[in-house]
Amino acid sequence: MPTAHLTIDPGAVVGAVNRRLFGSFVEHLGRCVYDGIYEPGHPTSDANGFRGDVVELVKELGVSAIRYPGGNFVSGYRWEDGVGPREQRPRRLDLAWHSTETNEVGLDEFATWLERVGSELMYAVNLGTRGVQEALDVLEYANIRSGTRLSDWRIANGRTEPHRVGIWCLGNEMDGPWQLGHGTADEYGALAAKTARAMRQIDPHIELVVCGSSSAQMPTFGTWERTVLEHTYDDVDYISCHAYYEPADGDVDSFLASAVNMDGFIETVVAVADEVKASKRSDKTINISFDEWNVWYMQRHLAEEKITDIEHWPVAPRLLEDSYSLLDAVVFGSLLISLLKHADRVTSASLAQLVNVIAPIMTEPGGPAWRQTIFFPFAETSRLAGGEALALTLRSDTHLTGQYGEVNLVDAAATHATGATAIFLVNRSTTDPAEVTIDVSALGDVAVASARTLSDSDLSAANTLDHPERVALADNNSVLLSNGVLTITLPPVSWTALSVTSN
Ligand code: AHR
């Protein structure tokens, strides 16, 4: 049986775990908003048309900040279309997803929904087809108390208090040729810097995210970050990373090792940001907003026949509705481990997306809402991780993968707050259980509060409309504690969260 050993030292701190690590993303795309969070007439919907069953699941998921309204959508979006009396709002073409945007939900409604779910708004401005003025306008509308045309318009629209949006994205994936308004790193960097400086003239307290690369596989990866940060270093707080993973050519071992790619992505962006910091002799550190991450069967999506017909622009079509398997959820859990391991520099992250579109929560119109497999590692990590992320001493047996060479069979992350330690583990072996010993003697007198594992003999097991509770976390009864050492057996292809109390 493969083995791994780790030592928990509460003094070996990587960095504080920022709650914003447990963010998500709602884009006007497919059925994420319409038929997802918003469905007037659904038996659970409130007077604003928001589904109560979805609200409850979002709360259970434990989501902190939610990025909105896109995504590729935002690069063609006019925010003004989505405020004011609903009956006067225009229907518009959404070029990113070849759909019709009805604008029934906009900034004010989304802010109202966020109050219900208890999450913070992370708002993206359009730097694709728009620029500095429109970014200033939406900031004035959102954050100025009163006494100006746009703040008074918000009040007239029923929102007396400002939205006080604290974190803003300067566009979306501007390195991608698919993006409306895509340009060179110099063009985007100059625009982002101008926009950031102007926005800070309205509200000096906002935090700003500049676009990094859409993936570590982009041909411009690295040089894009350097150039954009050379323009914007003094004016922004975060640079974004986006990454989606899927199996290539049925190579499950490499898929299970996707977090190796995420680790490298983060470490490269940190190195580039710090190089720019050094070249500018700056005291300021730029952190990462990993504001799109997930498993996404993108090749399947790219292979599907797309609607490009000029006569046909559907409202809320079923797009990117991946059904996630047990295998996907284990990879997903390992990506959370990667984010936690880098908590010193990844201080904001957004699971893309939240409902129906590559999402942990699925809905049927007029019907139920249910948890996909990826729901469980996210909810458990959001619930248990706290305080500070720890640097672990980890020794694990390894195996060879096609894409990433030799990788640890077991990977792990841990967080520690006074009296509460959480340990997250993944077993990447497709054939063998792994026995893990964890030296927790440095924590003092400990007790195991919970040990829950996600695994299944069928790697393709999924939760569906017909079987919404097929996959769930289960107690791992193998855990033993003796003389300050925990021993636990991890089934093949599994993700586990251990909660340990100490005094
Ligand atoms: O999350 C789906 C899409 O993926 C987003 O719109 C875009 O930013 C990314 O390419």
Q: Best of 182, 242, 296, 357 to mutate for ligand 1, by most ligand atoms within 8 A of CB?
A: 242
Half-sphere exposure of 413 (CA within 13 A, CB side): 24
- Contact between 333 and 454 under an 8 Å Cβ cutoff? The reply is yes
Which ligand 1 atom is the nearest neighbour of the CA of 73? 6
Active site residue 292: yes
Name residue, tokens 């780790």.
Answer: 6
- Band of residue 303 on the pLDDT scale cut at 50, 70, 90: confident
b (16+ CB within 10 A) / e for 53-79: bbbebbeebbbbbbbbbbbbbbbbbeb
Mean pLDDT of the 98-123 span: 98
| Ligand 1 mean position, distance from CA 267 (Å) | 22
Of the residues 80, 109, 134, 292, only one is catalytic, namely: 292
Instruction: Please count the other Cβ atoms lying within 10 Å of the Cβ belonging to residue 405.
Output: 11
Active site residue 56: no
- Band of residue 337 on the pLDDT scale cut at 50, 70, 90: very high
Asked if pLDDT for residue 300 goes beyond 90, the answer is no
Taken in order 225, 226, 230, 236, the sign of the CA dihedral is positive
Protein residue with its CA nearest to atom 1 in ligand 1: 352
| Ligand 1 mean position, distance from CA 243 (Å) | 10
Residues contacting 370, CB < 8 A, separation 6+: 361, 362, 463, 464, 465, 468, 469
Mean pLDDT of the 75-90 span: 98
Of the residues 173, 225, 388, 435, only one is catalytic, namely: 173
| Ligand 1 mean position, distance from CA 371 (Å) | 21
92 phi, psi to nearest 5 deg? -130, 155
- Band of residue 88 on the pLDDT scale cut at 50, 70, 90: very high
Q: Which residues line ligand 1 (CB under 6 A)?
A: 27, 29, 70-72, 172-173, 214, 292, 352-353
| Ligand 1 mean position, distance from CA 72 (Å) | 6
DSSP 180: T
Protein residue with its CA nearest to atom 8 in ligand 1: 71
Of the chain, the percentage scoring pLDDT greater than 90 comes to 98
